[in-house]
Amino acid sequence: MRYKWQNMKNPSWEYPELYSTVTVHYDQVKVEANRASGQVRLEVKTLRGEHYESIIKHGVVLREKDLKSGALTDLTDILNIYRKDFSSLPDTPILALIGGNYGIMTEFLGTAERIIVRDRNLFARLKRLVKGILPWLRALGRRTLANASYYSAAARPADFVDMAIIGTATYAAFTYNFDYLSAGFTLCTMAMLTGIADWLIRKREPWLMKIYASVGLASVAVYRGYFFQ
């Protein structure tokens, strides 16, 4: 049997890349990968309705789960049955991340065909993009709300004085020759100096909101000045 693997972008932000194929017994086999983190998710859904997943990171099995029952279980014997199917994956770097678990080869030596699937519909691509980043945005929102009370309570009068000084210096640097790069570097420099003052003179940790805001605005200014000025 010559395998045909469909390769497509995955809506899941955790695993940006997805491979899928069908075995000779019509079982669905999927491999989701995040090359940056070195993590791979193996999934098998049988014609009988059984559903399993295994998560591997740099060759180390992190979790094995029966998705139908929700129970954590040893999948060594089950996934070993599909070792030839997984070994046919035409992507050696991903096979290497699996690390030889379940008898799966670490290098592609077969003749399987890779079919790249692209969304030709612009609306579908936009929908997939939004669906992929929504979990990340929700997680970011939860962290921001959880830390908002801490940031507001940590602010002191001296921090507002620092922000006024930073803003004045940045405005002066920009209006001197209307240069975004100068404004960005001035903003970074003043933020660093006020942070040093917090450590050495005031004997306390800098207010994080001041640092985050300064670095963020400085990055925007430098980007604007470097690419568009």
Encode pLDDT of 81-140 as tens digits. Answer: 999 999 999 999 999 999 999 999 999 877 777 777 665 555 555 666 566 666 766 776
* Pair 171, 108 in one domain: no
In a domain, 209, yes or no: yes
- Our count of domains for the chain comes to 2
Is the pTM here over 0.85, yes or no?
no
Q: Which has more pLDDT, 207 or 46? A: 46
CB atoms within 10 A of CB 46: 17
Q: Domain ends where: 118, 139, 167?
A: 118
In a domain, 165, yes or no: yes
Q: Which of 33-47, 89-103, 120-134, 152-166 has the lowest mean pLDDT?
A: 120-134
- pLDDT on residue 151: 47
Sign, CA torsion 151/156/159/160: positive
In a domain, 131, yes or no: no
- Domain of 163, in residue numbers: 155-228
* Pair 199, 103 in one domain: no
- pLDDT on residue 78: 96
Q: 99: exposed, middle or buried (C-beta count within 10 Å: 0-12, 13-18, 19+)?
A: middle
Q: At what angle do helices 157-177 and 180-200 cross, to 10 degrees?
A: 160
Name the band, by pLDDT with cuts 50, 70 and 90, for residue 145: low
Structure tokens at 26: 């019509």
CA dihedral 60, 63, 65, 71 (to 10 degrees): 140
Q: Which has more pLDDT, 15 or 161? A: 15
* Pair 113, 176 in one domain: no
- 50: closest CA among 14, 75, 16? 75
